[in-house]
Amino acid sequence: MKSLKNRPIGIFDSGLGGLTVVKSIRQCLPSEDIVYYGDTARVPYGNKSRTTIVRFAHEIMAFMMKARVKMVVVACNTASSLSLRSLKKTYPIPVIGVISPGVREALSVSKNKRIGIIGTKSTINSKSYEKEILKLGGKACRFFSKSCPLFVPLVENKFLNNKITYDVAQHYLGEFKSRDIDTLILGCTHYPILKQVIKKVMGNINLVDSSFVVSKEVQMLLDKKDLTRFSKKTQGTLKIFVSDDVEGFRSAAGIFLKEKIMVKKVVL
Amino acid sequence: MKSLKNRPIGIFDSGLGGLTVVKSIRQCLPSEDIVYYGDTARVPYGNKSRTTIVRFAHEIMAFMMKARVKMVVVACNTASSLSLRSLKKTYPIPVIGVISPGVREALSVSKNKRIGIIGTKSTINSKSYEKEILKLGGKACRFFSKSCPLFVPLVENKFLNNKITYDVAQHYLGEFKSRDIDTLILGCTHYPILKQVIKKVMGNINLVDSSFVVSKEVQMLLDKKDLTRFSKKTQGTLKIFVSDDVEGFRSAAGIFLKEKIMVKKVVL
């Protein structure tokens, strides 16, 4: 039996977006093995109900338990917002999401404590970011949130830095301008791909990519629980599983991850 | 046991869009009972693989068989394109899709037999419309096809008749202008909602809404097989089942269907 330290880290997302978390963890913790699950047959999660997202998340967790992971990162903001509490209650391994790390980062970089949050409909409706800001930052913080449901299809269809994407960003983010925010949480793994466009609209404010900062949280948690893997290998393994077509995923993954990947299909 | 004639017509779609077919069949065949399934937990289908769509379609067909329907309309263009042949082979009841009816209508209204086709990525990649045009219209026909993957999220987010939607339509449809087409098949149940915008870009050409013309095909098929229901009731029943949240579906259904509906959740 593999010692606990040598077991992989499980990471899951509705589709491709969680690969930004994979990338960040591979940079930060290169010795760790990773098992990734992208639920591409049922993507997107962002406009679906809490009950459905919780059901999907539990199905994926059952897969992760079979893969004998030592911890799980819910790399999807929607699944983090809607299912994290239920997953934490149910499984005996550590499960972390992307909400708390994002909020911590936002609070540390914001000077005026006026923070904008953008995400999918389900993430924004869940108020998960707002609750976490109040919990970690207190009542002096001000937050302003907005769902941006067209950002995901724009990214997935490679409308990355053109006029249409700019107009959509203007449509969604325009209202933040009068709010005097100095920090904007990109509360969806796809949104960092649109950083340039968002910056054009919002000017010089802090953009918080929670999928990037989550790797620090993973590192702290592994250290605290004495679960960090030390290995002379320069790079741990990366096993990717998806619920839809392997080829489609592999070709699209290049937007997020610049390494050759092996992908297998597993329907849950 | 219900006589065959009195059994309902089954209609299914990845989500809401198939309600345009429901509407059309309720106008054309008001006595017929209808069972509708919208696979809202796994919507959209349009960017997923053939294997996955065939699997989903068979799961829904099994539900329809349990509901003892007398025939099934695959109201989703993607599912029609990718799964119809497999469903026809497997089940003992008539199954029809939206591709043939759309092509028949296009051929009957087109004068110069130069036809444009727009649809989801999966529909366009399957070449289902092209094959049907060649089969029914012969080699003299010319066709030009283009996938328009942003149209579905635009409709679902109620970007119906604004500048952004117009620019996206211009982006996708611009290339048709030099093709001298006189007819455009709207090969996705969501696209008729964008008729106004599409007309603005394309000018005065025929727009074929296959979900609308499919009701004629249903009527012909029922008459031919002696399965038409005659009833003094002015309106048959409509039972709607979805795989995700009932409330979300009911509130969004108004874009497509102007009657009060009862919706139940059934996960397959």
Residue A120 and residue A76 share a domain: no
Closest CA to A125 of A45, A183, A199, A198: A45
Query: What separation in angstroms does the CA of A10 have from each of A141, A173, B85, B166?
Result: 33, 34, 39, 42
Residue B260 and residue B203 share a domain: no
Q: Kindly report the average pLDDT of chain B as a whole number.
A: 94
- For residue B231, pLDDT over 80 is answered with no
Q: What is the pLDDT of residues A190-231, one digit of tens each?
A: 999 999 999 999 999 999 998 888 999 999 999 999 999 987
Residue B217 and residue B197 share a domain: no
Closest CA to B224 of B94, B84, B30: B94
A47–B156 CB contact, under 8 Å: yes
Confidence of residue A256 (pLDDT cuts 50, 70, 90): confident
Report how far residue A76's alpha carbon sits from residue A99's, in angstroms, rounded to the nearest whole number: 9
Stretch (H or E) spanning B195:
helix B195-202
- Per-residue pLDDT, averaged over A25-38, amounts to 95
Confidence of residue A59 (pLDDT cuts 50, 70, 90): very high
Report how far residue B245's alpha carbon sits from residue B261's, in angstroms, rounded to the nearest whole number: 14
- For residue B163, pLDDT over 80 is answered with yes
Confidence of residue A233 (pLDDT cuts 50, 70, 90): low
- For residue B115, pLDDT over 70 is answered with yes
Residue in chain B nearest A168 by alpha carbon: B164
Provide the shortest C-alpha distance from residue A42 to chain B (in Å).
Answer: 4
Residue A167 and residue A202 share a domain: yes
**Catalytic residue ranges of B:** 76, 188
HSE, side-chain direction, 13 A CA sphere, residue A125:
13
Domain boundary among A210, A235, A252: A210
Angle at B160 between CA B155 and CA B163, to 5 degrees: 125
The structure's pTM equals: 0.94
Residue in chain A nearest B166 by alpha carbon: A164
Residue B161 and residue B82 share a domain: no
Residue in chain A nearest B243 by alpha carbon: A52
DSSP state of A2: -
**Contacting residues of A for B167, CB less than 8 Å apart:** 163-164, 167
- For residue A1, pLDDT over 80 is answered with no
Rg (alpha carbons) of chain A, rounded to whole number: 18
Residue B124 and residue B107 share a domain: yes
- Buried b / exposed e over A174-194, threshold 16 CB at 10 Å, is eebeeeebbbbbbbbbbbbbb
| pLDDT at position A260 | 86
Residue B208 β-bridge partners: B185
- For residue A100, pLDDT over 90 is answered with yes
**Contacting residues of B for A39, CB less than 8 Å apart:** none
Number of domains observed in the structure of chain B: 2
Query: What separation in angstroms does the CA of B72 have from each of B27, B51, B110?
Result: 17, 20, 29
- For residue B232, pLDDT over 80 is answered with no
Residue B254 and residue B167 share a domain: no
Does residue A35 contact residue A8 with C-beta atoms inside 8 Å?
Answer: yes
Provide the shortest C-alpha distance from residue A154 to chain B (in Å).
Answer: 7
* Environment class of B234 (CB within 10 Å of its CB; exposed 0-12, middle 13-18, buried 19+): exposed
Residue A197 and residue A129 share a domain: yes
Residue in chain B nearest A265 by alpha carbon: B52
A244–B48 CB contact, under 8 Å: yes
- For residue B212, pLDDT over 90 is answered with no
Domain that holds residue B107: 99-210
> Which of B16, B43, B45, B47 should be substituted to probe chain A, the one whose Cβ sees the most A Cβ atoms within 10 Å?
B47
| pLDDT at position A37 | 98
| pLDDT at position A89 | 98
Provide the shortest C-alpha distance from residue B48 to chain A (in Å).
Answer: 7
A48–B55 CB contact, under 8 Å: no
**Contacting residues of A for B146, CB less than 8 Å apart:** none
Residue B221 and residue B232 share a domain: yes
- Per-residue pLDDT, averaged over B244-259, amounts to 87
Residue B161 and residue B110 share a domain: yes
- For residue B258, pLDDT over 70 is answered with yes
- For residue B214, pLDDT over 90 is answered with yes
**Contacting residues of B for A150, CB less than 8 Å apart:** 150, 153-154, 157, 159
- Secondary structure (H, E, C), A86-125: HHHHHCCCCEECCHHHHHHHHHHHCCCCEEEEEECHHHHH
What tokens does B234 get? 């002015």
- Please report where in the chains the tokens 């960040």 appear, as a residue: A24
Report how far residue A47's alpha carbon sits from residue A25's, in angstroms, rounded to the nearest whole number: 27
- Per-residue pLDDT, averaged over B45-63, amounts to 97
A244–B52 CB contact, under 8 Å: yes
A163–B159 CB contact, under 8 Å: no
Q: Kindly report the average pLDDT of chain A as a whole number.
A: 94
For the domain that residue A37 is a member of, what is the CATH number? 3.40.50.1860
A148 labelled catalytic? no
Q: What is the pLDDT of residues A153-204, one digit of tens each?
A: 999 899 998 999 999 999 999 999 899 999 999 999 999 999 999 999 999 9
First to last CA, chain A: 25
| pLDDT at position B233 | 65
List alpha helices for chain A, DSSP H: 19-28, 50-66, 77-90, 99-109, 121-126, 128-137, 151-156, 163-173, 195-202, 210-224, 246-252
Residue A179 and residue A254 share a domain: no
**Contacting residues of B for A42, CB less than 8 Å apart:** 41-42
- For residue B259, pLDDT over 90 is answered with no
Kindly give, in sequence order, each residue whose CB lies less than 8 Å from that of residue B79, ignoring residues fewer than 6 positions away.
B12, B13, B14, B45, B53, B56, B57, B97
CA A194 from centroid of its chain's CA atoms: 15
Does residue B237 contact residue B260 with C-beta atoms inside 8 Å?
Answer: no
Does residue B120 contact residue B190 with C-beta atoms inside 8 Å?
Answer: no
- For residue B128, pLDDT over 60 is answered with yes
- For residue B114, pLDDT over 70 is answered with yes
Report how far residue B97's alpha carbon sits from residue B218's, in angstroms, rounded to the nearest whole number: 10
- For residue B1, pLDDT over 70 is answered with no
- Per-residue pLDDT, averaged over A110-118, amounts to 97
**Contacting residues of B for A154, CB less than 8 Å apart:** 150
Q: What percent of chain A has pLDDT over 70?
A: 98
B49–A245 CB contact, under 8 Å: yes
Q: What is the pLDDT of residues B72-100, one digit of tens each?
A: 999 999 999 999 999 999 999 999 999 99
Report how far residue B226's alpha carbon sits from residue B212's, in angstroms, rounded to the nearest whole number: 22
Residue A70 and residue A124 share a domain: no
Confidence of residue A88 (pLDDT cuts 50, 70, 90): very high
* Environment class of B138 (CB within 10 Å of its CB; exposed 0-12, middle 13-18, buried 19+): exposed
| pLDDT at position B257 | 85
B49–A171 CB contact, under 8 Å: no
Which of A153, A167, A267 shows the shortest C-beta gap to B153?
A153
| pLDDT at position A252 | 84
| pLDDT at position A56 | 98
Chain B contacts to A (CB-CB under 8 A): 40-42, 47-49, 51-52, 55, 149-150, 152-154, 156-157, 159, 163-164, 167-168, 171, 243-245, 248, 267
B55–A267 CB contact, under 8 Å: yes
